[in-house]
Structure 1
Amino acid sequence: MKSTISLYFIIFSILFMGGKAQAQDWPNLNKYQNENTNLKPAEAGQKRIVFMGDSITEFWSVIDGEYFATKPYINRGISGQTTPQMLVRFRADVITLKPTAVVILAGINDIAGNTGPSTLDMIANNIFSMAELAKANHIKVILCSVLPAFDFFWKPNQNPAEKVIALNEMIKNYAVANNIIFVDYHSAMVDGRKGLPISYSNDGVHPNKTGYEVMAPILEKAIAIVL
């Protein structure tokens, strides 16, 4: 177990610090620039879906790559990112790819303070802005709840659990008010401490393969409705 946690920490640190080293590219627009340029137009009848998010999204393709293998899903997660960074790169990494829909899962790194202090309103507004940009460009939106977290291994003792719950309520209320599909991972994955159980995560924040296998059918139901 300790070795697995260490591996997560090493991967997270390399990806996150790599972004820090490129301070001139704060939103990390370079990460997917080549992939975006070389991406072929969607085939006739193909309904492309872009996944926008942070490490929880990025690692999904690594840990449970089979989920993406046979589907027109494009992963545009970047480890360590906060919602203002995602908002800046939303046009390059989502809109220009002309997807049918976008899945937005974001906010946990804002709560951790990865790019400085953020209020819940600030976090929510960035998520809402991404949703509105998508809708303005005729892209359907799926908004996801933030996964439960009892603590952060890279920034401990911040007591994020209640903030996650409050942010999820804000996202859910916005989704209902704007006729947007809301995916509730939190209720399906939370433990008695209001965190992510060890059965679903090796570090308390990132899902393991079992965790992603819990998430996949929940999301697939939402995708079926949207499409």
Structure 2
Amino acid sequence: MILLNKKLVLIGDSITFGYGVNKKDSWVYNLSKNLPLEIINKGINGDTTPSMLNRFYEDVIALNPDYIFIMGGTNDLLCGRSIFSIKDNISEMIKDSLGKNLIIGIPPCIIKEMAENLFMPSTHYTHCKNSLPILRKELIDLCQNYSVKYIDFYKLTFDNIEKSIFIDGIHLNSLGNNIMLNEFLKVFTL
């Protein structure tokens, strides 16, 4: 039963989309089994924060959601973009979401060596791996400045890295998705 037609819209990249696992194993898909809300997944594989900001009004605000989740930045770093530009784009999306129940996701860590071997060639894996902890701090500061909730998927995945939660060093397997789901449910409140 959906709670009073309330909806949660999630915008992000492949981690939000559920890349690499069966739909039934995706953390976002499984939210619908745990929350009495309409869940709308606007995750797009390979998306960056400039693209998310570009589509934010149409894909999120125009849907008039009661709850919003935003997570991005890994693909920006894999393209060589700066932490500042990611923070600026997410800040703009936060400003557009003020007055809504908002949660920011801190992107998961990556395993550079695994990604180099199993995902795709990139000259920016070192930049991404080294920048993600700095992005984490910047996004936590941003959330505190706006009094917005956040979920620290970076720390969560880093702390669980030895449990073999990745399929390719970037994307999470079903165990990793389940760990993310449980963490989201701990933070999210109706």
Q: Please, what TM-score do these two structures have when normalized by structure 1?
A: 0.71
* SS of corresponding position for 1:103: strand
**RCO greater where, 1 or 2, for CA within 8 Å and sep 6 or more?**
2
How has the CA–CA distance of structure 1 residues 177 and 69 changed in structure 2, closer, same or farther, with 3 Å as cutoff?
Answer: closer
Q: CA RMSD in A?
A: 2.1
From 34, 50, 53, give the equivalent of 1:84: 50
Q: How far is the alpha carbon of 1:198 from its aligned partner?
A: 6.3
Cα deviation, 1:31-82, whole Å, max 9, x if unaligned, reads xxxxxxxxxxxx7723311110011111178252551444421100000010
CA distance in structure 2 between the partners assigned to 1:96 and 1:197 by the alignment = 41
Contact 1:112 1:155 in 2 (8 A): no
Query: Per the alignment, do residues 69 and 142 of structure 1 end up closer, same or farther by CA in structure 2, a change over 3 Å counting?
Result: closer
Instruction: Find the partner of 1:111 among 69, 73, 77.
Output: 77
C-alpha spacing 1:44/1:156, structure 2 compared with 1 (3 Å): closer
Instruction: Give the total of aligned pairs.
Output: 175
**TM-score with structure 2 length normalisation?**
0.83
Ranges in structure 2 where 5+ consecutive residues have no aligned partner: none
Query: In terms of Rg, which structure is larger?
Result: 1
Identical counterparts, % of pairs: 27
Which secondary structure does the structure 2 equivalent of 1:76 belong to?
Answer: strand
Contact 1:58 1:76 in 2 (8 A): yes
Moved over 4 A (4+): none
Taking the aligned partners of 1:210 and 1:44, their CA distance within structure 2 comes to: 28
Aligned to 2:136: 168
